[in-house]
Amino acid sequence: MSKKAIIVGASSGIGKALAIGLVKQDYSVGITGRRKKELEEIQKVKPEAIHILPSDVTQATATADLDQLIKNLGGLDLFIFSAGVGYLNEKLGYDLENRTNQLNVVAFTKIMSWIIPFFQKQGHGHVVNISSVAQHRGSKLAPAYNASKAYQTNYLEGLHQKMFAENRNIHITDIRPGFVDTAMAQGDGLFWVASKEKAAKQIYRAIKKKKAVAYISKRWVIIGRLLSLLPKGVYKRL
């Protein structure tokens, strides 16, 4: 029987590439996002293996929608949270900061608080979140984005520790991309930009190996380490 996965935020970008990659590996995949048309286009890749459900993860109906998607799939082995927003917000407009937090922090937490008990009850499962290399330091350009990603990685580490302490057969994977060629990658001076397909392949390998943390593409681990090591006095001048 094929394995079953859900990807929240799969109407474009990394989530879409992952959905297409997973069906090629014989997964049945349930995909969500707000844009119905985009989801319908992706479903055409392999209609018998792709279940779609347009859903806004920041809305109160989000977990009921996902319960329905699990029913449509007939079970769940792998859950991927790839929904995310981030805005360049040098003026610190609260609306943009709040939109980032509502998805990357509030909805993310709601979904983690729903999926972990589901997998605990089932006795097995794998939770994957797409955070970012940005989680390593603050940002003068997009303060809420970097802070929200730091929240996610810290939260995932807590979940990882909790699953270990409880001796659960539940794996937690924190995916930390650098730049990936999607609508999300904004601004000048981008470098080491990975294609969505390359990113999806590396993420799939990390999932198969049940890695706790993976940088995408792999060399971004160097930037992650450098960012962590940079003294505040140097970092503030960048």
Ligand X SMILES: NC(=O)c1ccc[n+]([C@@H]2O[C@H](COP(=O)([O-])OP(=O)(O)OC[C@H]3O[C@@H](n4cnc5c(N)ncnc54)[C@H](OP(=O)(O)O)[C@@H]3O)[C@@H](O)[C@H]2O)c1
- Residues making contact with ligand X (CB under 6 A): 9-15, 32-35, 38, 56-58, 82-86, 103, 130, 132, 177, 179-180, 182-185
Q: Which residues make Cβ contacts (< 8 Å) with residue 149, sequence separation at least 6?
A: 104, 131, 132, 134, 135
Shortest reach from residue 17's CB to ligand X, in Å: 8
Q: Which is nearer to ligand X, 33 or 224 (CB)?
A: 33
Smaller CB distance to ligand X: residue 42 or 76? 42
Radius of gyration from C-alpha coordinates of the chain: 17
Q: Provide, rounded to whole angstroms, the least separation between the CB of residue 187 and ligand X.
A: 10
How many whole angstroms separate alpha carbon 121 and alpha carbon 170?
11
Compare residues 119 and 179 and give the one whose CB is closer to ligand X. 179
The least CB distance from residue 60 to ligand X, in Å, is: 12
Of 182 and 202, CB closest to ligand X: 182
Of 27, 87, 145, 155, which is the active-site residue? 145
Beta-sheet strand order (sheet of 50-54): 50-54, 28-33, 4-8, 78-81, 125-130, 170-177, 213-216
| CB distance 16 to 33 below 8 Å | no
Q: What are the helix (H) ranges across the chain?
A: 13-24, 36-43, 62-73, 94-101, 108-122, 143-165, 196-208, 220-229, 232-235
Put residue 74 in one of left, alpha, beta given phi > 0 → left and psi -120 to 50 → alpha. Answer: left
Which residue has 């937090």 as its token pair? 101
Rounded to the nearest 10 degrees, how much is the dihedral formed by the CA atoms of 60, 68, 45, 186? 20
- 84/125 with CB nearer ligand X: 84
Q: Has 155 been annotated as catalytic? A: no
Bridge partner list, 5: 29, 78
Q: Write out the catalytic residue numbers.
A: 145
